Amino acid sequence: MGQPHVVTLRATRAGDLDALFTFEQDGEAVRMAAFTPPDPTDRAAFDAHWRRLLGDPRIDARTIRADGTIVGSVARWFEDDVADITAWVDPEHWGEGIATRAMRLFLDALRERPLRARVAADNAASIAVLEKLGFRQVGSETSFANARNTDIEERIYRLD
C-alpha cells in the first residue's frame, strides 16, 4: 500500500483528458473494467465520448486528484431514469485507498438516491470499494464485455 494522499475532486476539464486516456490504456485495468468501448485505444472515439459527457448538464463528471496529480475520474449519469456511477483510477495507484476516498467525496456531493453501480463479478477490488461505501448487491445479469470479447456476469449494486 502506498502513502496516504490528499484526495480531491474537481469538474473534469478538456485538459484532463490526456491523462484519463492514458490510464485507460492499461491492459489489466481494461480487462478488470470489462465493459469498455469496443476499442479503448481509439482516441477519436474517447474524445467524442468525453465531449458528449462534458456537454450534457445531467452528467456529473469529475477528475480525481491525489496530492494535486490527476489519478482518475468519477461520474454520474442517468440510464432508464436511474442514477448510475462509475470510477476509474490509474492502476499505478491501485491499493492506496484513493478510489474509496474519491467515491466517498463524490457520494457526499450527490443528492440522488438510489444510486446504481455495475461491476464485473470477478472485479473484487471494485466490489470491495462499493461494499465499503454501503452499496448492496441487488442483482446480476450476463452482459457482453468488450474487453474480454465474451459474455460475463455483471453484478448490480445499489445505494439507498
Q: What is the pLDDT of residues 29-75, one digit of tens each?
A: 888 888 888 899 999 999 999 999 999 999 999 999 999 999 999 99
Q: For strand 115-120 and strand 82-89, is the pairing parallel, antiparallel, or unpaired?
A: parallel
Residue 2 included in any domain: no
Domain coverage including residue 51: 7-159
Count of domains for the chain: 1
Q: Whole-model pTM?
A: 0.92
Give dist(CA 121, CA 136) in Å, integer.
13
Residue 1 included in any domain: no
Q: What is the pLDDT of residues 89-141, one digit of tens each?
A: 999 999 999 999 999 999 999 988 999 999 999 999 999 999 999 999 999 99
What's 57's domain CATH number? 3.40.630.30
Residue with the bigger pLDDT between 5 and 20: it is 20
Give dist(CA 131, CA 100) in Å, integer.
10
Residue 67 included in any domain: yes
